[in-house]
Amino acid sequence: MTVISVPGSATDTVAPTTRRRRKRNVLLIVGLTLFGLLVLVAILAPVLATHDPIQQDLAHARLAPGSPGHLLGTDELGRDVFSRLLYGARVDLRVGVLAVVSPFIIGTVLGLISGWFGGWLDTLIMRIVDVVIAFPFFVLVIALVFALGAGTGSIYLAITMVGWVAYCRIVRGEVLVAKEQEYSLAARASGLPTWRILFRHLLPNVVLQAIVYSMSDIVLTILAIVTLGYLGLGVPPPTPDWGSMIQDGQQFLLTQWYLATIPGLAVVITGLALALIADGLVERFDRT
Amino acid sequence: MNYLVFVVRRLITLIPVLFGISLLVFFMIHLVPGDPAVTLLGSHATTTAVAELHKQLGLDHPIWQQYLTFLNHLLHGNLGESYQYRTSVSSMIAQNLVPTVWLIVAGALFAVVISVPLAVWAASRRNRFADSAIRTIPLIGLGMPAFWLGIMLILLLSLKAGAFPASGFGTGLFNHVQSIILPGLTVALALVPILVRSLRASMINVLQSDYIVTARSKGLSAPRVVLGHALRNAAISSVTVLGVNIAYLIGSTLVVEKVFALNGVGFLMITAIFNRDFPIVQGVTLLFAIMVVVVNLLTDISHAALDPRVRLS
Amino acid sequence: MTPLLEVHDLHVEIPVPHGHLHAVRGVSLTVDAGESIGIVGESGSGKSITLRALLGLLPQPAQVTKGSIILDGVDVTGLPERRRTKMLTDAMSMVFQDSLTALNPVMRVGDQIAEVPRRRLSMSKSAAHGRAVELMDQVGIPEPERRFRAYPHQLSGGMRQRVCIAIALSAEPRLILADEPTTALDVTIQAQVLAVIDGLRRGRQLGVVLVSHDLAVISQTCSRIYVMYAGRVIESGSIRQLISLARHPYTFALLRAVPDPDLPVHRLLTIPGQPPDLTAVPAGCSFAPRCALAEPACREVDPALMAVPEEPDHGSACIRLETASQWLDWTPVDLPDLLEKT
C-alpha cells in the first residue's frame, strides 16, 4: 500500500501578507526606540539637567511640579527632582545593563558545557543551579550585598552570583536540542576540536533565547537595584538613584505624593521598553 | 503505587539541595577576602568586638570544622544568637513568622483569584479587545517595582480613601485581616502579570486541544466539557505556573514588609542588615530557602497527583 | 430506502484577516445504512472541514453559510442549535486522526469510553463500566478489564485508535465519521483498524464516512468515493468505475501518481502547481490552472457535477469527461494497471 500525497501547499494556511510582516516588527521598533530614548536621556543627563542633582537648597524645598525653574518640583532638601531623575537614570540604567553582562557570559558558558558534555559535570552544575534557585532572587541578592559590604561593586558581584543560573538553564536546554541536530553531528564527525564546535557552531544557534531572556533580566536587575536603593543598600549616597528617591519620598506621601510616584513611573517605563523589545525579538525570530 | 514512589524519589532529591543551601548560607561570611569578622562588623569593628566574634563564630578553627559545627547546630534548630538582642535567632524568627505567613497566603490567594479569571476571560475572547487589553498587563507590570506598587496602594487606598491601615499588623483577627489586604494585594499584583501571561497561554492550549473536540463530538453539554475535561488539564498547567513563580512571591514579601511596616521575618532581616546582625540575616535567608523548597515540593506532588503522565521515571 | 445521511450543497466559510476563506464550496453526498463511502483529497481540499461541519464541530470562526444536512429524511439545518447538535451527535460519531491528542491525557481510557453511556444514555456507573468493557472487546482490545484503567499514553497507537473507535461506538451511532483514522499508524496496524471499522459496519449496518488523502486506504473499504478538490466534489462514483476509467483529470492524475511496485517506474509523477487560494477563488474550473487538458472554456465556468453517460452513479465536474478514454494517449507516461489489483 503506497501513499499518494499530491504536492501542493494547504490552502488553509494563508501566506503572510506585507501588512502582517510589518506588524511583526512594530513591537521591536517601539521598544528599541523607547529604550534608546531613555539611554540617550541618561547619557545626556549633564546637558539636560537644570540643576546639580545633589545640590541642596533649603530655601526652595518642597516645591510642586511646574514651579518656575523646577520642572518636577523639589524634594525636602530642595534638590531638583527632574535633575535627580535624569542622573538617577544614569546610575540605574548603567548598573542594570552592565550587571547583566557577567551572569550572561558565565551562565551561557556553563550552560554550553553542561549541556554538551553531560555526565557528572552536568549533574554537578545542575545541582548548584538547584541550590541557587532555591533562594528567592531578591533575598539572596540582598543577603550577598550585606555579606560583601556596601558599594556598587558588591551589587555587581551579588547579581552575578545569583543571576547566572537562568542563563545556564536556558542555554543548556537549547544545547540539549541542538546537540541532536545534524550540524552538530556533522561537526563532531569532522573531528573539529570541541571548543571550536561549541563556540563557533553551537553558540550562535543557542544564544537567541538567552538574549531574549536578558531583556527581562535587565528589568529584573534594575528592579533589584532600585529595591536595594529603597532599602538603603544600593549605590552609596549622595548619588541619586530612583530607589532611594522613592524611599525619601515615602514619608511625604500625604503632601508631596509626586516625590515617591515619579521615580517609580520612570522604572515602569523602562520596564515597558524592555518588555517590548523582548516580545519584539520573540515575534521577529519566531521559528514557528 | 507509582505515586508513592514518585513522592519518595522527590524527597530524596531534596537532600543534596538542602545540603547545598546550608553550604551557601554558611559561606556567605567567607565571601570577602580577609577577616570575616571585620566584614561583618563593618564600621563597628573594634579589636575587642572582632576578637569576641572570632570566639563566637569559632573562626579560628579550620573551615570544614566550622561548617560541621554549623551543620550540627542547624540540625538541632540552633541558628545562633543575635548580636543585637542576645536572644536565639530561631526564637526571634518564630516570633516574627506569623505576619509573613499571613502575607504569603494572602498574596497567593489574591494572585490566584485575580489571575485565573482574567486569564480564562482573555483565553475565551482571544484576539478581541478584552484579550489585547489584558495582554498589556504583563508589559507594564514587568517593570513595576513591588515596593512602589505598595506605596501607590497606600497613597490611593489608605491615605486618600482611608479604607485600610497604612502600616502595621494590628492586634486581633479583624485587624490582621484588614492590615494584610493591601500588602497581600501588593504581593499578588507583582505576580499577576507573569501569571496571567502563562495561564492565558495554557488555557488557550487546553481549549484548542483535540480532546476537547472529541468531548464536544460526544455531544456532551458545555459545562460537562469544561468541568470534566478542560478544568483538570488547565489546573495542571496552572499549578506548574504558580509553583514556578511562588519563589518570586515569597521573595517579594521581604520588601513589602518594609513598605507596610509589617513585623514579619523579612522586616526582621532588613533591620538586622542595618544593625549588622549577621546571625539573623543568615537565619532568615536560610528560612526563605527552606520555604521555597517546601513549596516547590508541594507543587511537584500536586502536579503528579493531577497528571498521571508525570509519575513515570 | 431513505438514505441515512444526505448533504446538499454545503458551504463553509472561515473569516480570515483579509477576507473569507471559502473552505467548502457546495459539497453534496449521501450515505446509506451499512454503506461505507470515502472522501479523498489533498490537504486543504476541505474534506476534514466537511466532516466537522456535519457534527457541528467547526472551529470557532468557521461557519456553515449555505446548504442542508438531512438526517433520516429530516432536515436538521434549520433547527435551533441545541436541538440540531443533539440530533447530529445522537446519530453520528467521529473518530479522529491523532488518537494521542484526541484522548484526554489525564483520564483513564475506560472512563472516557464509559462517559457517553453515563452522561447521555443515563446508565449507572457500573452499567456504563460494563458497557465500556464490552465495547473494548468488540473493537478487539485484549484484556479489556485490565486496559480499562490505562491512561492514553500507556497504550500503543493501534490500541489507542481502537479506544477512539470504541468511544465513537459508545454513543450507539448509526453513522461513523472517520477523519484520517489510519494516517498516524504503521501499515500493518492500518489494516487491522480498517478491518475493525469494516466489521462493525457490516455487523451493525452502520454508515461510514472515511476521509483520507490515501487513495489506497479508501479503495480498500469504501464502495463509493467522492474526490474533493479546492472545496468541491469533482468526481464521485464507485471505486471500480473510477479505476476503470477516471472521468476527471485530477482523479486521473491521482491514480497515475501511485507507482506500481511490479512495473518499472518511468517517472515519478507529480501534478505541477498548487491548489487555488480559497479566499479569492478564480473564475472557472478550480483545477484548470494545473490541468494538462484545460481548454479556454474551462476557465470561464466552474462546472457542476455531471452524470457520466451510461453510468448514472458516476459523476464528474469536468466538461471534457466524455473524452476520458483518450486521455491515456494524450499523456506520455505509462499507466500502471491498477485494475489488476481490485
Nearest by CB: A12 against C23, C187, C214: C23
Nearest CA in chain C to A3: C214
Residues of chain A neighbouring C278 (CB-CB closer than 8 A): 11-12
Residues of chain C neighbouring A3 (CB-CB closer than 8 A): 213-214, 216
Nearest by CB: C106 against B214, B217, B307: B307
Q: C104 at the B interface (CB within 8 A)?
A: yes
Looking at the complex, report in whole angstroms how far the Cα of residue C276 sits from the nearest Cα belonging to chain A: 7
Q: C94 at the B interface (CB within 8 A)?
A: yes
- Pairwise CA distance, residues C306 & C311, whole Å: 11
- Pairwise CA distance, residues C231 & C13, whole Å: 10
The pLDDT score that the predictor gives to residue A10 is 33
Rg (CA), chain C: 21
Q: A162 at the B interface (CB within 8 A)?
A: no
Looking at the complex, report in whole angstroms how far the Cα of residue C238 sits from the nearest Cα belonging to chain A: 19
* Inter-axis angle of helices B278-306 and A137-148, nearest 10: 160
C-alpha cell at C262: 511490479
Residues of chain B neighbouring C165 (CB-CB closer than 8 A): none
B257 neighbors B183 (Cβ within 8 angstroms): yes
User: In percent, how much of chain C has pLDDT > 90?
Assistant: 23
**∠ at Cα A224 (B94, A34), nearest 5°?**
150
The pLDDT tens digits for C237-249 are 988 888 888 888 8
Nearest by CB: C257 against A6, A11, A20: A6
Residues of chain C neighbouring A19 (CB-CB closer than 8 A): 17-18
Which of C68, C41, C35, C74 is closest to C54 using CA atoms?
A: C68
Nearest CA in chain B to C53: B217
Rounded to 5 degrees, φ, ψ at C15 are -70, 130
Nearest CA in chain B to C114: B218
The pLDDT tens digits for B20-52 are 888 888 888 777 777 777 766 666 677 777 787
B114 neighbors B187 (Cβ within 8 angstroms): no
- Pairwise CA distance, residues C126 & A164, whole Å: 56
- Pairwise CA distance, residues A189 & C146, whole Å: 48
C-alpha cell at A59: 530655601
- Pairwise CA distance, residues B16 & B19, whole Å: 5
Looking at the complex, report in whole angstroms how far the Cα of residue C270 sits from the nearest Cα belonging to chain A: 7
The pLDDT tens digits for B1-16 are 678 888 888 888 888 8
Q: C107 at the B interface (CB within 8 A)?
A: yes
Interval B252-267 mean pLDDT:
90
Nearest CA in chain C to A18: C18
Q: A38 at the B interface (CB within 8 A)?
A: no
Looking at the complex, report in whole angstroms how far the Cα of residue C279 sits from the nearest Cα belonging to chain A: 9
- Pairwise CA distance, residues C14 & A19, whole Å: 20
CB atoms A9 and C44 under 8 Å: yes
Residues of chain C neighbouring B221 (CB-CB closer than 8 A): 119
B18 neighbors A132 (Cβ within 8 angstroms): no
The pLDDT score that the predictor gives to residue C10 is 92
In Å, how far are A131, A162, B219, C55, C168 from C91, measured between CA atoms?
58, 62, 10, 10, 11
The pLDDT tens digits for C133-166 are 999 998 889 999 999 999 999 999 889 999 999 9
Chains that touch A (3 or more CB pairs under 8 A): B, C
Q: A126 at the B interface (CB within 8 A)?
A: no
In Å, how far are B209, B243, C137 from C89, measured between CA atoms?
19, 40, 23
Coil, helix or strand for C308? strand
- Pairwise CA distance, residues C303 & C295, whole Å: 13
Chains that touch B (3 or more CB pairs under 8 A): A, C
The pLDDT tens digits for B100-109 are 999 999 998 9
- Pairwise CA distance, residues A234 & A226, whole Å: 7
CB atoms C44 and A10 under 8 Å: yes
C159 neighbors C147 (Cβ within 8 angstroms): yes
Q: C254 at the A interface (CB within 8 A)?
A: yes
- C20: β partners: C15
A263 neighbors B147 (Cβ within 8 angstroms): no
Mutate to test the interface with A, among C186, C274, C281 (most CBs of A within 10 A): C274
Rounded to 5 degrees, φ, ψ at C7 are -120, 125
Mutate to test the interface with A, among B17, B32, B148, B281 (most CBs of A within 10 A): B148
Nearest by CB: C86 against B219, B232, B309: B219
User: Does C184 have pLDDT greater than 90?
Assistant: no
Count other Cβ atoms within 10 Å, centred on residue C63. 13
C113 neighbors C130 (Cβ within 8 angstroms): no
Match 530655601 to its residue by C-alpha cell: A59
CA B102 to chain centre: 12
Q: C120 at the B interface (CB within 8 A)?
A: yes
Chains that touch C (3 or more CB pairs under 8 A): A, B
The pLDDT score that the predictor gives to residue C252 is 83
- C307: β partners: C315
Window A:217-236, CB contacts with B under 8 Å: 219, 222-223, 226-227, 230-233
CB atoms C98 and B228 under 8 Å: no
Confidence of residue B119 (pLDDT cuts 50, 70, 90): confident
CB atoms B254 and A134 under 8 Å: no
The pLDDT score that the predictor gives to residue A151 is 81
- Pairwise CA distance, residues C167 & C171, whole Å: 7
Looking at the complex, report in whole angstroms how far the Cα of residue C44 sits from the nearest Cα belonging to chain A: 5
Match 481502537 to its residue by C-alpha cell: C162
Going by DSSP bridges, is the β-strand pair C36-40/C207-212 parallel, antiparallel, or unpaired?
Answer: parallel
The pLDDT score that the predictor gives to residue C269 is 56
DSSP one-letter string for chain B: -HHHHHHHHHHHHHHHHHHHHHHHHHHGGGSSSS-HHHHHHGGG--HHHHHHHHHHHTTTS-HHHHHHHHHHHHHTT---B-TTT-SBHHHHHHHHHHHHHHHHHHHHHHHHHHHHHHHHHHHHTTTSHHHHHHHHHHHHHHT--HHHHHHHHIIIIIIIS--S-SS---SHHHHHHHHHHHHHHHHHHHHHHHHHHHHHHHHHHHHT-HHHHHHHHTT--HHHHIIIIIHHHHHHHHHHHHHHHHHHHHHHHHHHHHHTT--SHHHHHHHHHHTT-HHHHHHHHHHHHHHHHHHHHHHHHHHHHH-GGGG--
Calculated CA dihedral for residues A120, A123, A124, A128, nearest 10 degrees: 180
User: Does C270 have pLDDT greater than 70?
Assistant: no
Greatest alpha-carbon span in chain C: 67
B203 neighbors B119 (Cβ within 8 angstroms): yes
- Please report, in angstroms and rounded to a whole number, the separation of the first and last CA atoms in chain B: 13
Q: A18 at the C interface (CB within 8 A)?
A: no
C74-75: strand order across its sheet: C19-31, C5-16, C63-71, C74-75
DSSP one-letter string for B171-184: SHHHHHHHHHHHHH
Confidence of residue C132 (pLDDT cuts 50, 70, 90): very high
CB atoms A230 and B255 under 8 Å: yes
- Pairwise CA distance, residues C258 & C271, whole Å: 12
What is the ipTM, given to two decimal places? 0.83
**∠ at Cα A65 (A63, A66), nearest 5°?**
105
Nearest by CB: B139 against A134, A227, A275: A275
Q: B118 at the C interface (CB within 8 A)?
A: no
Nearest CA in chain A to B141: A268
Going by DSSP bridges, is the β-strand pair C311-316/C306-308 parallel, antiparallel, or unpaired?
Answer: antiparallel
In Å, how far are B8, B300, C154 from B311, measured between CA atoms?
12, 10, 12
Q: C153 at the B interface (CB within 8 A)?
A: yes
B265 neighbors B100 (Cβ within 8 angstroms): yes
B110 vs A192: which has the higher pLDDT? B110
CB atoms C57 and B307 under 8 Å: no
Q: B306 at the C interface (CB within 8 A)?
A: yes
Mean pLDDT, all residues of chain C: 84
User: Does B247 have pLDDT greater than 90?
Assistant: no
Nearest by CB: B217 against C93, C104, C105: C93
Mutate to test the interface with A, among B13, B27, B139 (most CBs of A within 10 A): B139
CB atoms C167 and B233 under 8 Å: no
C333 vs C104: which has the higher pLDDT? C104
C224-229: strand order across its sheet: C92-95, C175-179, C207-212, C36-40, C224-229, C232-238, C311-316, C306-308
The pLDDT score that the predictor gives to residue C332 is 47
Q: pLDDT in tens for each of the 288 residues of chain A?
A: 323 323 333 333 334 444 455 556 777 888 888 888 888 888 888 888 777 877 777 777 777 777 777 778 887 787 888 888 888 888 888 888 899 999 999 999 999 889 888 889 998 999 899 899 889 988 999 998 888 877 888 889 999 999 999 999 989 988 888 888 777 778 777 877 777 777 877 788 788 888 888 888 898 899 899 999 898 888 887 788 898 888 888 888 878 888 888 888 999 999 888 888 888 887 777 654
CB atoms C98 and B218 under 8 Å: no
CB atoms A1 and C277 under 8 Å: no
- For the ranges A193-197, B110-114, B300-304, the lowest mean pLDDT is seen at A193-197
User: Does C80 have pLDDT greater than 90?
Assistant: no
* Inter-axis angle of helices B172-207 and B146-153, nearest 10: 120
Residues of chain C neighbouring A7 (CB-CB closer than 8 A): 270-271
Please, which residues have CB within 8 angstroms of residue C13's CB and are 6 or more apart in sequence? C20, C21, C22, C23, C62, C63, C65
Q: Evaluate the omega torsion of the peptide bond into residue A204 and state whether it is cis, within 30 degrees of 0.
A: no
